[in-house]
Structure 1
Amino acid sequence: MVKGLTEVSSAKAQLGLGHSYSRAKVKFNVNRADNMIIQSISLMDQLDKNINTFSMRIREWYSYHFPELVKIISDNYLYAKVVKLIGNRKAFTEESMEQLEELVMDSGKAQAILDASRSSMGMDISPIDLMNIEAFTSKVISLTEYRKGLADYLRSKMKQVAPNLGTLIGDQVGARLIAHAGSLTNLAKYPASTVQILGAEKALFRAIKTKGNTPKYGLIFHSTFIGRAGAKNKGRISRYLANKCSIASRIDCFSEIPTQVFGDHLKQQVEDRLKFLDTGEATVVQAKVAKKEKKKKKKEKRMSSANDDTLDTTQEADTTQEMDVSQTEEPKKKKKKAKRKSEGEGMDTTQEMDTTQEEEPPKKKKKKTKVEAEGVDEPEEDLSKKKKKKKKNKE
C-alpha cells in the first residue's frame, strides 16, 4: 500500500486515469478527420436546397415587376445579381449597359434585357417592396458565395483525408460516400458490391420484396463515368468503378502518407475500361495480356508439334523394329520348318527300323519256345528235390 493514500486521493487518481484513457482512445489525427468532411458535405446539400428554394422565391417575387427576365437568364446566381443591378426596370438606362455586359458576359443578352425592360408587361413596384427584394437577393448571393467557399474547403479536406478517392470519383461524390458510410474506415470495410449500391437501399429492399431487378448503382451514379457510358454498359462500368472505389478507400484509410498516385492510376484504368466498352479498343494492359496469351499459345503449339514429331519418330522406330523382328522371325520359322522336316525324316527312319524289328518276331518266338521248354523242365527238377527233402525230414 502507498503511504498517505486516502480514499479521496484514490478516487481522484481513478478519475484522472479514466479521463486520460478515454482521451487516448478518442485521440486522432486532426489533419485527417473525416468528421469535417461529413459535416461539410451535409451542409453543402442543405445549402443547395435552400439556395434553390430562395431563388425560386426571388423569381416569383420579381416577376411581378419584370416577367421577361426569367426567360432570358436561367442561372439562379446570375439572376439574383442581375435583379440587384437593375432594381426598377424603368430606371434602367443604357448608361448601366457596360456593367450588365460585364455581369452577363454576353452583349446580346444585355441588349435583350434592355429591350425587354423597355417593353415589359410587368406591374409597377413600390420602393419598399423593391428594397425587400434587393435585401433578399443579397442574402441569396452571399449564400451562394459561401457555398463556393465551402466547396473549396471540402476539396482541400478531401486531399488531406481521401486523396485517391477524390481524384478517382470526385470530391463531392467521394464525400457523400464517406458520409453515407459513417466514416472512411467503415467505407474501407465495405465490399465493392455494397459500395456499388450505397445510397439505393430503398430500391434494393423493394426489389428483394417484389423479386424484381436489383439497382445497378447508388451514389456513384453522380460520377462522370456512368453518365458517359452507354445504356448497356452502365451496369458494367458501375461495378468496375465500385471495385476501384473500394480499393482507393482502403488505400486512403490505411496509408500513413496521403498521396493521389494510386487514384490517378485507378482513374486511368476506369477511363480505359470505359473506352473499351464503348469502342472495343483494347487498352495497354489488355494488349499486353493479349500478347502474353498469344506467346503462350505459340509455345503450346510448338510443344505440341515437337511432341508430335517425337511420336512420329517413335512410331517409325517401332515400325522398323517390327520389320526387323518379322524379318528375323521368318528365318526362324524356316529353320523350324527345316527342323520339323528333319525330325519327320528321323521319325520315318525310326518307324522303318521299328517295322523291321517287328518283322523279326519269329526268331524271338523260337527263343521263347526254347526258354519255355527249359522252364518246364526246371520245375520238375525242383519238385524232385522237394520230395527228397520231405523224405529226409520224415526219417
Structure 2
Amino acid sequence: MANLEDSFLADLEDLSDNDNENLDEDNGDAENMEEDVNGDLADIEALNYDDLDSVSKLQKTQRYTDVMKKVEDALEKGSDMSIQNQAMVLEDDPEYQLIVECNTLSVDIENEIVIIHNFIRDKYRLKFPELESLVHHPIDYARVVKKIGNEVDLTLVDLEGLLPSAIIMVVSVTASTTSGKPLPENTLQKTIEACDRALTLDASKKKVLDFVESRMGYIAPNLSAIVGSAVAAKLMGTAGGLTSLAKMPACNV
C-alpha cells in the first residue's frame, strides 16, 4: 500500500514539474513574441512614408536603367533589327533575353505605379478627399492631381482631354463642396513629384510594351496571329518565357 502511495505521489510531482516547465516555455514564447512584435513595430516606425524615395525605388535600380537603355536602343534600330532576326530567334539570343527582362520589368512597373498612387492619394486626400472615388485609374488620378494642384476653383482648371466630359463635370461640382483644404507647399511639392514619377513610369511601360509587341510576330508568330501581339506578350511574360509557355498545359493558360 505504501508503495502505491509513494508511486502516486511521485507521479503527482512529475506532473507538477512538467506543468512548471510548460509554463516557463509559454512565458518564454510570449516574451519572444512580444519582442518580435516590438521589433516589427520599430521597423515600421523606422520607415519614412513621408519621403517618396523610401517607398518608390524601382527607377533608381541598375536593372531598370539597363533594360530601358536597351529598349530605347532597340526601338531606335526599328524594323531592321526585326528583319535580321526574323529567320530564327533562339532563347539564348540577346534580344529574346531582353524581351523576357521586359516582361518582368513591366510587372514591376505596374506594381511601382500602384505604390506611388497610394502615396499620392494619401497626400492629396487632405486637399480633395472625394477625388479618389471619382477617378480610379492611377495614371488618370496622377494627371488630374498634377493639373489641379492647390487650385480651389476648378472652373479655372482645364481638365479637357484628361477625363471624360461627364466625369469632369462631377469632379468640378464635387470640388466646389469639398471639405478639403489647400496643401502646405512642401506637401504639394512632394505630391507633384510623385505624379511626375508615376507618369514617367507609365511612359517607360509603354516603351517596354511597344518593344515586346513589335518582336512578338517574329518570336511567336502563330500565337500572335491568334490572340494578337499584345496578349501574346503578356502570356509569354506571365509564363516566364517561350519555352515555359509551350510546356504549359492548356488548362493553365
Question: In which range does the TM-score fall when normalised by the shorter chain?
Answer: 0.5 to 0.7
Counterpart selection for 1:49 from 111, 116, 121: 111
Counterpart selection for 2:249 from 195, 218, 243: 195
Counterpart selection for 2:227 from 169, 185, 191: 169
- Give the TM-score taking structure 1 as reference length: 0.38
2:163 corresponds to: 104
Letter aligned with residue 101 of structure 1: E
Please tell me whether residue 142 in structure 1 is matched to residue 200 in structure 2: yes
Q: After TM superposition, list the pairs within 5 Å mapping 1:1-395 onto structure 2.
A: 32=89, 33=93, 34-90=96-152, 92-96=153-157, 99-106=158-165, 108-171=166-229, 173-175=231-233, 177-179=235-237, 183-185=241-243, 187-188=245-246, 190=247, 194-196=248-250, 217-218=251-252, 220=253
CA distance in 2, matches of 1:161, 1:85: 41
- How far the C-alpha of 1:37 sits from its partner, in A, is 1.9
For structure 1, the residue ranges without an aligned partner over 5 or more in a row are 1-28, 197-216, 221-395
User: Which structure has the higher relative contact order (CA within 8 Å, separation 6+)?
Assistant: 2
Q: What's the CA shift string for 1:324-348, capped at 9, x where partnerless? A: xxxxxxxxxxxxxxxxxxxxxxxxx
CA distance in 1, matches of 2:123, 2:167: 22
CA distance in 1, matches of 2:200, 2:103: 18
Runs of 4 or more, structure 1, over 6 Å off, are none
Q: What's the CA shift string for 1:256-302, capped at 9, x where partnerless? A: xxxxxxxxxxxxxxxxxxxxxxxxxxxxxxxxxxxxxxxxxxxxxxx
**Cα distance 1:123–1:180, how it changes in 2: closer, same or farther (>3 A)?**
closer
Find the structure with the greater CA-based Rg: 1
- How far the C-alpha of 1:187 sits from its partner, in A, is 4.9
For structure 2, the residue ranges without an aligned partner over 5 or more in a row are 1-83
- How far the C-alpha of 1:42 sits from its partner, in A, is 0.7
CA distance in 1, matches of 2:137, 2:239: 33
Equivalent residue pairs, number = 163
**Cα distance 1:93–1:181, how it changes in 2: closer, same or farther (>3 A)?**
closer
CA distance in 2, matches of 1:185, 1:71: 42
Cα RMSD over matched residues? 2.4
Does structure 2 retain, via aligned residues, the 8 Å contact 1:40–1:154? yes
CA distance in 2, matches of 1:51, 1:81: 13
- Give the TM-score taking structure 2 as reference length: 0.57
Q: Any idea what SS the aligned residue of 2:128 has? A: coil
CA distance in 2, matches of 1:177, 1:109: 33
CA distance in 2, matches of 1:180, 1:142: 24
Letter aligned with residue 124 of structure 1: P
Does structure 1 retain, via aligned residues, the 8 Å contact 2:123–2:187? no
Letter aligned with residue 105 of structure 1: P
- How far the C-alpha of 1:93 sits from its partner, in A, is 4.1
- How far the C-alpha of 1:138 sits from its partner, in A, is 0.7
- How far the C-alpha of 1:84 sits from its partner, in A, is 0.2
Q: Any idea what SS the aligned residue of 1:101 has? A: coil
1:17 corresponds to: none
**Cα distance 1:158–1:103, how it changes in 2: closer, same or farther (>3 A)?**
same
CA distance in 1, matches of 2:225, 2:124: 41
CA distance in 1, matches of 2:243, 2:105: 22
**Cα distance 1:59–1:183, how it changes in 2: closer, same or farther (>3 A)?**
closer
